[in-house]
């Protein structure tokens, strides 16, 4: 995460198969009560909490970031598929 940037780690490609209307579920631990149960060194002044606010403190931000996270995971999966296909084409798939 770059200091001061609220939009880091964006996918390089548009959404592949994720519908713009798809909804990612809210984690059960995404509550103030859960945050208050964390160890004492997690405070509102903690850098992790600052970055959380940049990305997840509203439902709109959370949806945006989680969809981008899933898109990037899809990009990694697609890239691995391309590599495996090329290894297979070259006859090296079983020799890696």
pLDDT-based confidence at residue 6 (cuts at 50, 70, 90): low
- Judge contact between 41 and 35, C-beta under 8 A: no
Distance, CA of 86 to CA of 96 (rounded, Å): 12
**pLDDT score of 61 more than 70:** yes
Q: Provide the whole-model pTM.
A: 0.69
How confident is the model over 31-41, as a mean pLDDT? 92
**pLDDT score of 78 more than 80:** yes
> Quick one: tokens of 60?
């709109």
pLDDT at 21: 78
pLDDT at 44: 87
């Amino acid at each position: 995460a770059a200091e001061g940037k609220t939009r880091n780690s964006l996918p390089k490609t548009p959404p592949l198969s994720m519908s713009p209307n798809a909804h990612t579920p809210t984690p059960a631990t995404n509550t103030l009560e859960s945050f208050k149960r964390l160890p004492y060194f997690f405070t509102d002044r903690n850098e992790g909490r600052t970055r959380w606010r940049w990305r997840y403190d509203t439902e709109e931000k959370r949806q945006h970031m989680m969809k981008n996270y899933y898109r990037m995971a899809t990009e990694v999966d697609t890239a691995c598929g391309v590599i495996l296909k090329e290894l297979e084409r070259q006859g090296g798939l079983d020799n890696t």
